[in-house]
Structure 1
Amino acid sequence: MSKQTALRLPDETYERLRVLSERTGRTAAYYMRQAIEQHLEDLEDIYLAEQVLERLKRGESRTYTLAEVERELDLDD
């Protein structure tokens, strides 16, 4: 199932999208979906990284050195 939504674009962006659609024979909606799907994962990663950094700053989490991880996993030689 999919949902419909409205999106306001600056004139220049809309024109670029229109030209791309016209030249490639694909719809503007196709390219908008592609852009959102490709960048949504990046935005999610950034948001999660910011949360981790905040927890580190507050002392609620800690980092581990490679040596500590190797020792914990019994990988040290």
Structure 2
Amino acid sequence: MATSIRLAPETEQRLDFLASSTGRTKAYYLREIIDHGLTDLEDYYLAAEVLERVRKGQE
């Protein structure tokens, strides 16, 4: 699935530098960032929902 995002110029420069310095593609790093970041966000938000239910005595 193709998705487009707009990056801040500084972020794009950092991504360009990382990709050119390591010989990997920008797409590789974007996938890595999304995969790891999504896992962290899922952990945080799903845990927050459970905590709220525990506080309400629902769980």
Pick aligned residue for 2:9 from 2, 8, 11: 11
Structure 2 gap segments, 5+ residues each = none
Structure 1 gap segments, 5+ residues each = 62-77
Structure 1 runs of 4+ aligned residues shifted over 2 Å read none
TM-score, reference length from structure 2: 0.91
- Greater Cα radius of gyration, structure 1 or 2: 1
Greater helix share, structure number: 2
Distance (whole Å) between structure 1 residues aligned to residue 50 and residue 28 of structure 2: 34
Q: Which residue identity does 1:43 align to in structure 2?
A: L
Distance (whole Å) between structure 1 residues aligned to residue 21 and residue 40 of structure 2: 28
Percent identical among aligned pairs is 51
TM-score, reference length from structure 1: 0.71
Distance (whole Å) between structure 1 residues aligned to residue 22 and residue 7 of structure 2: 20
Distance (whole Å) between structure 1 residues aligned to residue 17 and residue 40 of structure 2: 26
**What does the per-residue CA deviation read over 1:18-74, in whole Å, with 9 as the maximum and x for residues that have no partner?**
01111111111110001111121111111111111110121101xxxxxxxxxxxxx
> What is the RMSD computed on CA atoms of the aligned residues?
0.9
Alignment match, 1:23: 21
* Count of residues in Structure 1 that have an aligned counterpart in Structure 2: 59
Indicate the structure whose relative CO is greater, using CA pairs within 8 Å and at least 6 residues apart: 2
